[in-house]
Structures are given as structure tokens and as C-alpha cells.
Amino acid sequence: MRCPAIPDNETKRLSALYNLALLDTPAEQRFDYITEKAKQYFDVAYALITLVDSQRQWFKSAQGLATEETARDISFCGHAINYSDVFYVPNALEDERFFDNPLVTGETGIRFYAGLAIHTKDGYAIGTLCIIDKKPRLMSDSDFTMLHELVALVENEIQQ
């Protein structure tokens, strides 16, 4: 298992995240609506809006998953915040970064992951909108486009 790299701008990124005052807040329909639509559109087991702090990824909205957070060092989203486009893992069992990850080998059973970083208005990647499934999957060009459109909605909401 490969732990996610820490972004070069980590201190400023965390400051931007904390300034939003979204961590550890109650669920909000405005975010749940987006993850519900993502889960439905992509027909996946899980759709999440994650916020990645220094030690964990916390779920501002989670469809299909009962837990509220996981450790950052095992998170797929910790990797995704370092990418400028969709971080895409068609089959985690065949990916050297994840095949032995507890989120893959354990009860969550992740096989497919696609996540796109959510940015603040100042450009800091504070988390992701991600879709996850228990079976390997491929994405089409229209799927990538839809994920970008849903992230734009999330970014609009965090700026409200």
C-alpha cells in the first residue's frame, strides 16, 4: 500500500479547509442532493463528498457508507487531492498502490474509485467528490464530464 503524498502547499491548504468551517458539521441537504445524484447516475455502491484534513478524510456527505471518516494514510481521496483531473482506479486489486489497502481487502471492498478534487475559490484542494464501487468499472468520456460538472456544483455550494 502506498500512502498519499502530502501536497507542497499543505499548510495553506489546511488553513483554507479550516476557514470554511465545514469539518465535523451536520449533514446538509445541499451536499446530500449532489451525492445522491452521483450515486444514482453512476450506479455505484458509494458516493461521497470528502474533506481531507491532516490525519483523516471526513465525509461531509456519504451515500451508501455508514462511517463518518477514515484515516488519511489509507484514503484514496488523499491521493486524489494531488491530481488536477480525475483520479481514477478501474480495479484496485490490480493497482500496486491499493491492492493491499484495508479499504480494498476489508469490509468496504473497494474495487473501483474515481474522485475529483474540490477546490476553494483560492484554488486549494480541500477534498473530493468521489464515486466508489465494489466491482471493477470503466468510465466513459461522458462519465468524466459528469464528475466534473458535479464537482462544480459542490464548489459552488462551499462558496455560498
73-93 pLDDT, tens digit each? 999 999 999 999 999 999 999
What pLDDT band is residue 1 in, cutting at 50, 70 and 90? confident
Q: Where are the domains of the chain?
A: 10-158
Let me know: does 43 contact 56? Beta carbons within 8 Å.
Answer: no
Fold of 10-158: Beta-Lactamase (3.30.450)
In this prediction, residue 104 carries a pLDDT of 97
In this prediction, residue 117 carries a pLDDT of 98
In this prediction, residue 157 carries a pLDDT of 97
Mean pLDDT, all residues of the chain? 97
Indicate the SS3 state at residue 134.
coil
pLDDT at 5 over 90: yes
Q: What's the burial of 157, exposed, middle or buried (CB within 10 Å: 0-12/13-18/19+)?
A: middle
